Chain A
Amino acid sequence: MIEGLLTGLSAAISPFNLIMVFIGCFLGTFIGMLPGLGPMSIIAIMIPIAIQIGDPASALILLSGVYYGAIFGGSTSSILINAPGVAGTVASSFDGYPMARAGQAGKALTIAAICSFAGGTIGAILLMIFAPVLSAVAKLFWSAEYFALMVLGLTAIAAFAGKGKIVKALCMTIFGIMLATVGESALHNAARFTMGIMDLQSGIYFVTLVMGLFALPEALFLVLDERRSEAMANNNKIENLRITKEEAKEITPVVCRQSLLGFFVGVLPGAGATMASFLGYGIERNLAPTNEREKFGKGSIRGLAAPETANNAACTGSFVPMLTLGIPGSGTTAILLGALVALSITPGPRLMENQPEVFWAVIISMYLGNMVLLILNLPLIPYIAKLLTVPRHYLIPFVIFFSLIGAYIGQNNSTELLIMIGLGCMATLLRFGGFPLPPLIIGFILGGMLEDNLGRAMRKAGGLEFIWERPMTLGILVLALALLIYPILRDRKIRSDQ
């Protein structure tokens, strides 16, 4: 292993490769900030350039820099303007954006950068140690377990069920899953609930929904309530970048827990960064002491650190099935797999034996990508956070414009924009009614996977028998139920005691 590691290191730290990783991180960060352009699209765009480079190690180092840069870029738009461009960074906006609104944009970005670095680096170490063993564990998970895992992911909604909002949170989750059933599903070819609109044949586009639910209503609220934008403008002191000792102490256990959890969730093909970030958020809320738990959704640093660490660790974890089994665990790794094949590398069980230099170069490039990202972005944070000091009469039009164009470039049709505006008005109304919107997006993101896995499991077992016939499924479902009910009962008890 040491020999392989040294081979990878010597390949990765040549001046040319260092320039590659810098370029990758820089491009990834800035393009990733544009809503609608997630790591998947950016890597796809960069593949022809990577192939032109020729050398597999250099190409992978460039792509790895782009990958980590794009994830950080996505977190930046989530935190600063409540516009998460990719599903994996939605959970970061739950607490990151309230922090930015409270004048802690710089601190929120610093926490995001450090937690991403820690999650990615710990993930890379775990990948190095456990990759061969974990590929066997991943094979134990069947549709039934994936279905149970999706249900477990849905328990993150408990974080938004406080103060009598449980029924509203459940209502929003169901509504989100309903929206996910629009169009064709992976199991059935016939389109459902499209009302004859051709553009809905492939379902509601994720970016359209997320921009309609988060970015657009926020911009509309800034217009509706001038006091809100005045408060935001007054709170734009961005010199507050430093994390205090107490804060560092508070997030360290979160980072350790979520690096492990995120990595292991990422190893499971199909689960990925989104699942890890929601699960991490829900778990940390349950583990937090009562006074901290109240802060979740209102600007908790634990609430930001958990999904940021978990999604980066999961991104690294998703490389396990790709490198050891040749199975892409996520959309991004599927594209990277394509890039590897184009570079004449065949990932799979024999990669480590036949081309150890490539295997280790990928792992070293992850370390490098994370490190360069931190070095590059920490000094840039004050300038990135300055975005919030743009005058209100330009900031709001630009937030609306970026939301609209994010939805447009993904699908290239104007119907998406009209759907998004409709969703934005609906979300504004829901906010007036005190309905929490994150459960809706959690339901939407997990809904498609939930139906596919439930369908597969039911078809295989001939009904719902798989729940009690497979102990692992039953165990995960019982855990999910406990995670959903326990915090609600605990909150109710605290309220009745008060």
Chain B
Amino acid sequence: MARIDRFIALGLLAFSIGYGYLAWVHPLLPFEARMPFKPNTMPLGLAAFGILFSTLLLLLPGSDLSEKDAHGWRDFAWKDTALLIGLAVCYALLLRPLGFIPSTTLFIVLSSRVLGETKWFRSLSTGLIASGLIWYLVDDVLGIYLVPLPVLAGGLP
């Protein structure tokens, strides 16, 4: 019973109940309340199906192999993965204030080092060339504005 898919099923059940509650309390305008199809008609139906299927998942015996079953939990590189997720979050938060080129270079340099790159020059040059080229393609060629540099160094917010 302590399998991960049971915990996920429990999470989905909670999500479906929460979703159903929000659909139930969704404020309707007077004219909407008289319509055969209201803004919450389909969400309520979906919540009912969600509750039904996640309950079935909790009750029925599991029969399939999950990714975890292929290898033991301990064999996985959790630390590297957590570091990489952390770097992605930092990249998301720094993209605007730091600008596209510095933040992308930093992300590529640091994440390649997390994954085993040992040469600073190689990772730095790859990061700089890739971020410069992509910025040129997206901003100059395609005309989609990307803040290239930090706000303080002249990039617009």
* Interface set of A (CB-CB < 8 Å, partner B): 31, 37, 45, 163-165, 167-168, 170-171, 174-175, 177-178, 181, 185, 187-188, 190, 192-193, 219-221, 223-227, 392-394, 396-398, 400-401, 404-405, 408-409, 412, 414, 417-418, 421, 424-425, 429-435, 450-451, 454-455, 458-459, 461-463
When C-beta atoms are compared, the residue in chain A nearest to B113 turns out to be A393
When C-beta atoms are compared, the residue in chain B nearest to A170 turns out to be B53
Assess whether A454 is in contact with B37, with CB atoms less than 8 Å apart: yes
7 nearest A-B pairs in the assembled complex, by CB-CB distance: A164-B63, A417-B92, A434-B66, A393-B115, A433-B5, A397-B111, A458-B37
B136 at the interface (CB under 8 A from A): no
What is the bound-complex CA distance between A223 and B80, given in angstroms?
7
- A-B contacts, 30 listed (Cβ < 8 Å): A45-B143, A170-B53, A171-B53, A171-B54, A174-B50, A178-B46, A181-B46, A188-B32, A190-B27, A221-B67, A223-B80, A223-B115, A224-B76, A224-B77, A397-B108, A397-B115, A401-B91, A404-B92, A409-B138, A409-B144, A409-B146, A417-B95, A429-B4, A433-B3, A433-B8, A434-B64, A458-B37, A458-B41, A459-B35, A461-B36
> B116 contacts which of A220, A393, A431, A432 (Cβ < 8 Å)?
A393
What is the bound-complex CA distance between A193 and B47, given in angstroms?
13
> B85 contacts which of A425, A429, A462 (Cβ < 8 Å)?
A425
B57 at the interface (CB under 8 A from A): yes
Assess whether A400 is in contact with B53, with CB atoms less than 8 Å apart: no
Assess whether B134 is in contact with A405, with CB atoms less than 8 Å apart: yes
Assess whether B117 is in contact with A163, with CB atoms less than 8 Å apart: no
Q: Mark B54-74, 1 if CB is under 8 A from A, else 0.
A: 101100101111111001000
Assess whether B95 is in contact with A220, with CB atoms less than 8 Å apart: no
B151 at the interface (CB under 8 A from A): no
> A190 contacts which of B7, B39, B81 (Cβ < 8 Å)?
B39
Known: A175-B12, A400-B111. A432 touches B89 (CB 8 A): no
Assess whether B36 is in contact with A463, with CB atoms less than 8 Å apart: yes
For window 114-143 of B, CB contacts with A under 8 Å fall at 115-117, 126, 130, 134, 137-138, 142-143
Known: A459-B36, A459-B37. A223 touches B84 (CB 8 A): yes
Assess whether B112 is in contact with A393, with CB atoms less than 8 Å apart: yes
Known: A174-B53, A178-B43, A178-B50. A193 touches B19 (CB 8 A): yes
Give the Cβ gap from A137 to chain B, nearest Cβ, in Å.
27
What residues of B have a CB within 8 angstroms of the CB of A431 in the complex? 66-67
What residues of A have a CB within 8 angstroms of the CB of B54 in the complex? 171
Give the Cβ gap from B134 to chain A, nearest Cβ, in Å.
7
What residues of B have a CB within 8 angstroms of the CB of A185 in the complex? 39
Assess whether B126 is in contact with A394, with CB atoms less than 8 Å apart: yes
B14 at the interface (CB under 8 A from A): no
Assess whether A418 is in contact with B92, with CB atoms less than 8 Å apart: yes
